[in-house]
Chains A and B, each alone.
Chain A
Amino acid sequence: MGLKQKIAETQVWRSIFRHGYPSTPRNRALAALSNVFLHLHPVKARKSGIRLSFTWCMGGITFFLFLLETLTGVLLMFYYRPTIEYAYNDIIALREHVPLGIMRELHRWGAHMMVLAVWLHMLRVFLTGSYKPPREFNWNIGVILLLLTLLLSFTGYLLPWDQLAIWAITVGSNMARAHPFIGHEGPGASLLAVGDVNLVTPATDIRFGLLAGRFVGAATLLRFYVLHCVALPLAAGLLMAVHFWRVRKDGGISGPM
């Protein structure tokens, strides 16, 4: 009996894995089936579907980058305080005091590439017609995940609290001022009035709601921080679970009928 076999028969191994060493078809099937993470996969998949030339691995890369962002993001949270007194200095400290610190770099380059990976994943899904029945609904989940990815990146942009951050968010959120009806410089804003009192003003419109103020300020920083670190990742995580589940339920990675 080999060492592998011996280990696979110890009480500790058997308490964790409910199957033997995955060298037989039965145990390999059980490896995917009896593991909470691996069972996002089906036990078997189309050979054509798992080829790199078919998927470009872009969905997988997106998920990898989400995990990378989560891991590095949690580490960054230990060193960062979302107030205008501390935010910028905390980034400087991170840069100057942490030897070989690359967490911010990993987080930033990973974030840029995640946006790109999502686009390319959608491009692949479109080119292979994989949004067609029965996968219409999952394409829609994917579009929402695209939006969440952009929002995650957008809210994260503000956190270093440098010139790039504050002005990119200012430029990006200025658009909201012009939102029809609910932005104070949007068409139809003047229609929402009670008598002579205008209801849509710089202090009540959609941009105010987004920024928690008339300008990008302390309240915006806190709001974006909470969205970036808690609300949006939770929403994305939830929808990713649905997304992966539906890939399985709709017949796995697509292939010719």
Chain B
Amino acid sequence: MEGIKNLVNALSAPIPYTIIMAGGFGLLMWKLRTLTQPRVLWALAALIAVGFVAGAQDPDFLKIISKGDNMPIVIMIFAILGTLGWGLRQASVNDMRMEKGLPPREAEESNKKVLVWPDLVYAEFICTVLLSAIFIAWSIAVEAPLEEPASGTRAPNPAKAPWYFLGLQEMLVYFDPWLAGVVFPGLIVVGLMVIPYIDINPRGNGYYTFKERPFAIGMFLFGFLVLWVALVILGTFLRGPNWNFFGPFEYWDPHKIEPLVNVNLSEIIWVQWFNTRMPDQALLREAPGILLILGYFMIMPALLAVTVLKKFFNEMGFARYSILVMLLLCMAALPIKMVLRWTINLKYVVAIPEWFFNI
């Protein structure tokens, strides 16, 4: 028993956790049709449920998942598995139909119009009654949490943002607040808004499909599942005092010490490579990092335009392509920084704390 717990604890540390999530996502994209079969989805749901029930025998794990405000995250895991599985299953079925030359399943009924009264209004009414019953039962069963009265001087440890912002708080491990808390959330909103204008693929409009738009769905799901939902789960269940990592079966010890061994790129280059003193002038000191960032955002788009994304560049035109590739590069910045942190303990690529300008 202890052995299994230790294994789960070890596997849920940020590095294996992220690799498992990203690997799982890759597997889903690769084996979509097999993995979205109903029996596979049910088995997965049952496995997670068994995991939660068995895990709840452990007092430390029970303490985290039974916290009132953490219930929505448990529900979220099953809700996403169910709805996304359902949607992608229909996408697979439609793809197989279209391979045979048939229209998507929705097309069989999309020209059939039904009266909204009663066909839709009654369904809405039944849904309202059911939901009311569910929420009333939930509210009778579980009391809304209320902690000690507010105190501006006694900060709880850990102090966490509301659960839906925990992905952003997790990003703070890798980026400074101006990026993790302002620029990246801003880009998420802008990115969502430009989707309809940069996705010029006319197919897959109004029905489930994966094969007709694998790039759009792949990118959206990577952002949503791996860079958002997975980080919310990590931030909720696996981050304890001082935002240190704690396995699901680990006691949240506020005195756990994590060694701080991270170094800046400028230090690696000047001190470790050239074996010299760091220049005093900030811009000169950080020149390697600044050039690296400029190269990333100025050379990569051109490079991608003539290689991997050539087709997109030709079809989309300059303006749409530029917006797409900039957003993709920003999105990729998080996993890139994560890997650099784990492999070479990189703290900042550009570190100019004098100007609060750290990347």
Which A residues have a C-beta under 8 Å from some C-beta of B?
A: 22, 25, 28-29, 31-32, 38, 41-54, 56-58, 60-61, 64, 68, 84, 88, 91-92, 95, 102, 104-110, 112-113, 115-116, 119-120, 122-124, 126-133, 135-136, 139-140, 143, 146-147, 150, 153-154, 157, 160-168, 170-172, 174-180, 183, 185-190, 215-217, 254-257
For the complex, is B251 an interface residue (Cβ under 8 Å from A)? no
Residue contact A28 to B118, C-beta cutoff 8 Å: yes
Which A residues are CB-close (under 8 A) to B217? 126-127
Residue contact A136 to B161, C-beta cutoff 8 Å: no
Which B residues are CB-close (under 8 A) to A128? 87, 204, 206-208
Residue contact A131 to B196, C-beta cutoff 8 Å: yes
A44 to chain B, nearest CB (A): 4
Residue contact B109 to A48, C-beta cutoff 8 Å: yes
Residue contact B196 to A56, C-beta cutoff 8 Å: no
Residue contact A178 to B87, C-beta cutoff 8 Å: no
Quick check: which of B55-63, B164-172, B295-303, B319-327 contacts chain A, the rest being far away? B164-172
| CB pairs A–B below 8 angstroms (28 shown) | A22-B118, A32-B115, A38-B116, A41-B116, A41-B121, A43-B115, A47-B109, A47-B113, A47-B114, A48-B109, A50-B123, A95-B143, A105-B140, A106-B139, A109-B139, A113-B135, A123-B83, A126-B220, A136-B197, A140-B193, A146-B192, A167-B160, A171-B159, A172-B165, A175-B168, A178-B356, A183-B178, A256-B103
Complex interface bits, B64-85 against A, C-beta within 8 A gives 1, otherwise 0: 0000110110011001100110
The listed residue (A91, A157, A176) touching B182 by CB distance below 8 A is A176
Residue contact A167 to B159, C-beta cutoff 8 Å: yes
**With the chains together, A109 CA to B110 CA distance in Å?**
36
Interface of B is mostly: helix
Which B residues have a C-beta under 8 Å from some C-beta of A?
A: 68-69, 71-72, 75-76, 79-80, 83-84, 86-88, 90-91, 103-121, 123-124, 127-128, 131-132, 135-136, 138-140, 142-152, 154-156, 159-165, 168-169, 176-178, 180-183, 189, 192-193, 195-197, 199, 202-209, 213, 217, 220, 224, 355-357
Question: Which of chain A's residues has its CB closest to B204's CB?
Answer: A129
The listed residue (A135, A154, A162) touching B150 by CB distance below 8 A is A162
Which A residues are CB-close (under 8 A) to B113? 44-47
